[in-house]
Amino acid sequence: MPRSLPYGLHASRKYWSAPLLVVYVIVATSSTANAALTQQTRKDTQQDTQASAGSSGNLPSYSPEQIQAGQALFAGQCSFCHGRDAGGGEGGPDLTASPLVAEDVRGEKIGPVMRNGRPDKGMPAFAPTDEQLAALVAFIHDRKAKAKEGRRRTVDVSDLQTGNPQAGIQYFNGAGGCAKCHSPTGDLAGIAGKFQGLELLRRMLYQEDWRATKSGGATPETTVTLHSGQTVTGRLAYRDEFTIAVIDASGWYHSWPRSQVKSTVTDPLEAHVELLGKYTDKDIHDVLAYLQTLH
């Protein structure tokens, strides 16, 4: 009687031998395993492709105009802490390597941080419009996409050496109006020997850094007029291009979007704030180059 063989095959002594049976079993098993492996590989590849496509589909795109607008806002508001390329500065972290930025989708995480600030880390709150926030987010994500390994963690000194001292003198005495309050032989005499690099730049741009030496630490008085006509007067607590805040005589803190109120600040350093909205990048570097000659 012929023996029963796997897969319903039958063989007699004439046609089947033990070696041939072994070969058949090996081939059949190998074919089954290869088929299973091929099927799993195709499944894994399909999953990877779908995951990749899903991930790519979630990446937002930003227009060149939006990125350019964000770059201008970032330069005026954020660059002196986070660097002009968002790669980190003396006082702020590298945003291109930030886990929060990596998790952000169209400002859902960046927005709250910008609008609420991080007082414990020295970051003030800002009040950008939705359009301005979207532009800032676009620029930050664009810089992250272009960032490479070995990111710069501080402001490079070479970035501060690109100005023209002669052009800086002209701006100082002319369009900038700096000479109305400052003198290279008076309050600015030897300034380059006292402060260098980013510290000198900060003192040039932000009036608060001069306050202790310029006005004895006095805080400017501010009057804010609301749409209703009501006025609130107090000590200036915070101000930038978007927000103004005062502390009234009772110690209460009040803040408003600057676009919704009128404000008057009694401060001899007010011109510094006004210049922040007028400076071009060239103006800043030229004036800094001039100040660096005042040893």
Under DSSP, is residue 51 helix (H, G, I), strand (E, B) or coil? helix
- pLDDT tens digits, one per residue of 193-224: 988 888 888 888 765 555 544 444 457 889 99
Under the phi-then-psi rule, with left for phi > 0, alpha for psi from -120 to 50, and beta for the rest, what region is 162? alpha
- Closest to 101 measured CA to CA, from 148, 141, 69: 141
pLDDT, position 174 = 95
Rounded to the nearest integer, the mean pLDDT of the chain is 76
Residue from 81, 161, 88 nearest 122 by CA: 81
Rounded average pLDDT over 36-44: 46
pTM of this structure: 0.40
- Per DSSP bridges, beta strands 10-11 and 221-225 are unpaired
The CA distance from 44 to 55, in Å, is: 16
pLDDT digits (tens, 9 = 90+) for 20-30: 444 444 444 44
Q: What mean pLDDT do residues 284-289 have? A: 92
- pLDDT greater than 60 at residue 254: yes
Which residues partner with 87 through β-bridges?
none
For 33, 205, 218, 256, the CA distances from 260, given in Å and listed in that order, are 73, 25, 27, 7
Residue 55, pLDDT above cutoff 70: no
User: How much is the pLDDT for 185?
Assistant: 94
Give the pLDDT of residue 81: 83
